[in-house]
Structure formats: structure tokens, C-alpha cells
Amino acid sequence: MSPRKTIGGGRRRAVTDDRRPRRRGQGELEALVLSALRGADGPATAGWVQERLGGDLAYTTVITILTRLLEKGAVSRERAGRSFAWTPASDQAGLAARKMRKVLDAESDREAVLASFVTGLDPDDERLLRALLGHARAAEDG
């Protein structure tokens, strides 16, 4: 049995989910675009990115995603004729770290946020974090 939706004046009409492609979330699209850019031999145009993603995204959608990524510092761009060529500014780990800093910066009680984060780590991640902090400290002292 197909799902039904109420439309207009209470009439019910069968609407099948296979008529429209599944909507992807903004984060998913951003990850796809970044992945395509990382696969490029150098700076890539929005048209090139659109092609690599199979062409199911509109060119304007690709431009919108690239512009959002630029605002987040995840990509950079340079003029290429009348268009732009885009380059990823960081890898996936760098982008995740940027998101974590943004969340931390938005909170007024940084100590409470960091304490909650650290106490929620599993033992292996805690050891890794301690080792990374030790390396950072040693680099500052050295």
C-alpha cells in the first residue's frame, strides 16, 4: 500500500516516494563536493565538480555548496576567466576540527564543554588526546 498525504480541502491522494529522488542533506552534499575537489589534479571549476558528481545536481546547486564551503574556510577559489577554480583548503580531518572549534567558540563556558567532551572519550581516544597534547607541548618547548 502506498503512503497517503492530505492535500487541499482534506482530500487524500496516493503519493509514492519513488517519484522524487531522495533529498540529500547539506552536509552530505558538501562532503561529496569536497571529495570531488580532492580528486582533482589541481583547482577545479564548478562545472568539473558537477560532471564528477554525475550531473544530477544543478550547476547553481554546486555553486551554492562551493560558496558555503568558501564561507566555512573549507575551500579557496581563484579567478579562472569569467569563473572561479576551486581548491580544498583542508582535508576531512581539518574540516571536522574546524567544526569542533566553531561549536566550542559558540559556547560561553569553554571549560565545561571541554570537560564534558574529555570525560565522554573512550580510554583509547583519551590516551591519544593525551599523547597529542604532549607532542604539542614538547614542540612548543623545543
pLDDT tens, residue by residue, 17-72? 555 556 666 678 988 999 999 999 999 999 999 999 987 889 999 999 999 999 98
Query: What pTM was computed for the model?
Result: 0.59
CATH class of the domain at 24-86: mainly alpha
Burial (Cβ within 10 Å: 0-12, 13-18, ≥19) of residue 60: exposed
C-alpha count within 13 angstroms, C-beta hemisphere, residue 87: 9
Residue type present at position 138: A
pLDDT of residue 49: 96
Q: Which residue has the higher pLDDT, 14 or 20?
A: 20
Instruction: Give residue limits of the domains in the chain.
Output: 24-86, 90-139
Instruction: Count CB atoms within 10 A of the CB of residue 9.
Output: 5
pLDDT band at 141; cut points 50, 70, 90: confident
Q: Is the pLDDT of residue 138 over 50?
A: yes
Name 62's Cβ contacts closer than 8 Å, sequence gap at least 6. 33, 46, 49, 50, 53
Which among 89, 106, 87, 6 has a CA at the least distance from the CA of 40?
87
Q: Do residues 104 and 114 lie in contact, with contact meaning Cβ atoms separated by under 8 Å?
A: yes
